[in-house]
Structure 1
Amino acid sequence: MRFLQRLERKFGRYAVPNLMKYVILLYAVGILIFSASPYAYLFLGLEVDQVLKGQVWRLVTFLIPYNRFGDIFFVFLKAYVFYMIGNALENAWGTFKLNLYFFSAVIFNILAAFIVYGIFRLNILGNFLMVVYSPLDIIYSSMFFAFAATYPNMQFLLYFIIPIKAKYLAWFNGAFYIYEIYKLIRVGFYLGIIPIVVSLLNFIIFFLGTRNYRRISPRELERKANFRRQVKEGLRYNSTGRQTVITRHKCAVCGRTELDDDDLEFRFCSKCDGNYEYCMEHLFTHEHVKKQ
């Protein structure tokens, strides 16, 4: 977290406010492009060999989601949810951290594409794979995981009727990706796993990097154990540093407590002015306390 704070102090002024507006614009562009020309993805996917030949626009256009004309309603719905969770994260984290989270996912995808191409001469985010895997949609899932970790009890209306908390949707989404990975392994397409894993890598880094590890440190565990032991034994230290016994009940007449005898019972007197507690021996024999 300190590292992020240093980065924000140094580069925070370059962060793009309201980033989600420009991300949602990619969905609108996708609808227009693929409605006009369904095969436009041939010129937009992250074909590394073409990028190396000068088609640098592919470093950005591979994010445009492939949208079939009949999917417009779901595209608008997905874009709305994307916009909502993006703004919620920006309000919770600040503009710089949201920018860092989103663009790190984009950069991870690009680096993975170049590494795989350099080793296997394959384009894992190429033209045809762009139809199967929309990097923007996977980044959307990564942001939803972050949203669920930040607002776990936020409710969504599944099918506009069934209320369900964000944390449960995130678990379901994670199970879906595990199933997708299983299917890719089953057909032997191992490189297809890389876009999914890489896009979710920034959430894993976020989750691990924002945990409070101090609470599980040996010193903290020892402190908690000592505290629980003192609570159990009823021991505390007063202002002079001397141990005093903290009890739940004490007779206002004889001063006996539950530590003196396990069979003692205590009651408050309704006729006394104030919170005065008595053992059963003095409950009916004491002199009632009255305010002057």
Structure 2
Amino acid sequence: MNWLNKLEKKFGRYAIHNLTLYLIGGYIIGYGIYALVPGFLNWLTLEPGRILSGQVWRIISWILIPPGGNIITTIIMLLLYYSLGTALERTWGAFRYNVYIFSGILFTVIGAFILYLITGGVVQGLGGYFSTYYINMSIFLAFAASYPDMELLLYFVLPIKIKWMALVYAVFILYDLARGNIVTRVAIISSLLNFVLFFFSSRNVKPYTPKEQARKAKFRQQAKPHMNYRNGAHHKCAVCGRTELDDPTLQFRFCSKCNGNYEYCQEHLFTHQHVQ
């Protein structure tokens, strides 16, 4: 996904760090509204018809509506998704995690409007079908795809690898798709479309798996003592001797076929003689 790399270089500094914490904070606000003025939640749902009538806040306010459940299961769920989301942000980086979450929100909104057009605005209460449930599910599936062999304690007792839990959830999702009506299907597909786009592209997944991140971190640690050159330069071509101080537009890469930490500029990366 070259477009994502370009976006990250240009807008990466604007990424929201600890995004999962803000999402959970939104749920807490939603629980507060439910406890104090439960009827007000009806003004927050994702209703395309009412949005087109001027209630534009519904485009974003629906993410405040918290998942159902008792207080114990809710606390456990929030703690779980905080740990999963934080781990994903550390693995992918804040910008890519932001794109993943916000694309899920955007696709859900688009799905709601598509459904509104399909039904001709006849079906009322579409907002009840669109929630953050499947967006939270996409976080779980993304974590399972990144850390498939990590074990969780099911009911705090039974250890089970997260990839098997994800497989069970996938079966439930497919079952909901099979038995559900058009409204249910559009809601599920639109909410999980971000997961489909991210994880059906191996070029996007592999560089951001935990194993690959650990390998890169180890390599940077080993190469660090060799990356301090004259006048404070951090990159130097082993062929021509130029650094980023000589030409800021130069790009440098290490060669995996050379024995040792040899770095080359873009002009000599593919033309140099390998050091054996």
Task: Tell me the TM-score normalized by structure 2.
Answer: 0.69
Cα separation, partners in 2 of 1:213 and 1:48, compared to 1, 3 Å: closer
Task: Return the letter of the residue paired with 2:200.
Answer: L
Task: Find out whether 1:196 has 2:196 as its counterpart.
Answer: no
Q: Cα distance 1:202–1:87, how it changes in 2: closer, same or farther (>3 A)?
A: same
Compared with structure 1, are the counterparts of its residues 85 and 134 closer, same or farther at alpha carbon in structure 2 (3 Å cutoff)?
Answer: farther
Q: Which residue in 1 is equivalent to 2:158?
A: 162
Task: Output aligned runs, 1:95-244, within 5 Å.
Answer: 95-122=94-121, 127=125, 129-130=127-128, 133=129, 135-184=131-180, 189-211=181-203
Q: How does 1:12-161 map to 2 (within 5 A)?
A: 12-67=12-67, 71-122=70-121, 127=125, 129-130=127-128, 133=129, 135-161=131-157
2:67–2:132 contact (8 Å) kept in structure 1:
no
* 1:177 Cα deviation from its structure 2 partner: 1.1
Taking the aligned partners of 2:199 and 2:97, their CA distance within structure 1 comes to: 14
Letter in 1 for 2:87: A
Cα gap change, 1:122/1:21 in structure 2, threshold over 3 Å: closer, same or farther?
same
The alpha carbon displacement at 1:118 in A equals 2.4
**Cα 1:213–1:173, aligned 2, differ >3 Å: closer, same or farther?**
closer
The answer (yes or no) to whether the contact 2:67–2:133 under 8 Å persists in 1 is no
| Structure 1, 32-41 or 201-210: larger mean CA deviation | 32-41
| Structure 2: gaps of 5 or more residues | 207-276
- Structure 1: which amino acid aligns with 2:113? F
Paired amino acid for 1:191: V
Task: Using the aligned pairs only, state the percent identity.
Answer: 38
Q: Distance in 2 between matches of 1:13 and 1:105?
A: 21
SS, match of residue 157 in structure 1: strand
- 2:156 is paired with a residue whose SS is coil
Deviations 1:191-237 (A, max 9, x none): 221111111111111112234899xxxxxxxxxxxxxxxxxxxxxxx
Q: 1:77 to 1:122 in 2, by over 3 A?
A: farther
Query: 1:31, 1:72 within 8 Å by CA — same for their partners in 2?
Result: no
Find the aligned partners of 2:122 and 2:92 in 1 and give their Cα distance. Answer: 34
Question: How many Å separate the matches in 1 of 2:56 and 2:29?
Answer: 18
By how many angstroms is 1:138 displaced?
0.8
Compared CA separation, residues 67 and 95, structure 1 to 2 (3 A): closer
Shift of 1:183: 2.7
1:222 equivalent in structure 2:
none
Letter matched to residue 46 of structure 1: L
Letter of the 2:15 partner, please give it. Answer: A
1:175 shift after superposition = 0.8
Q: Deviations over 1:113-158 (max 9, x none)?
A: 112212323488x75642xx46212101011111111010111111
Which letter maps to 2:99? L
Aligned AA for 1:119?
I
AA matched with 2:162: A
Task: State the structure with more CA Rg.
Answer: 1
The alignment yields a C-alpha RMSD, in angstroms, of 2.3
Cα 1:128–1:2 shift into 2, 3 Å: closer
Instruction: Give the Å deviation of 1:38.
Output: 3.0
1:221 maps to what in 2? none
Q: What do residues 29-64 of structure 1 show as CA deviations (whole Å, max 9, x unaligned)?
A: 121111223333321111112112221111111112
Question: What is the deviation of 1:104?
Answer: 0.3
Q: Gaps (5+ residues) in structure 1?
A: 215-292
Tell me, in whole angstroms, the C-alpha distance in 2 between the residues paired with 1:154 and 1:50: 44
Letter in 2 for 1:196: I
Q: How many corresponding residue pairs?
A: 206
Distance 1:6 1:123 in 2: 42
Helix, strand or coil at the partner of 2:8: helix
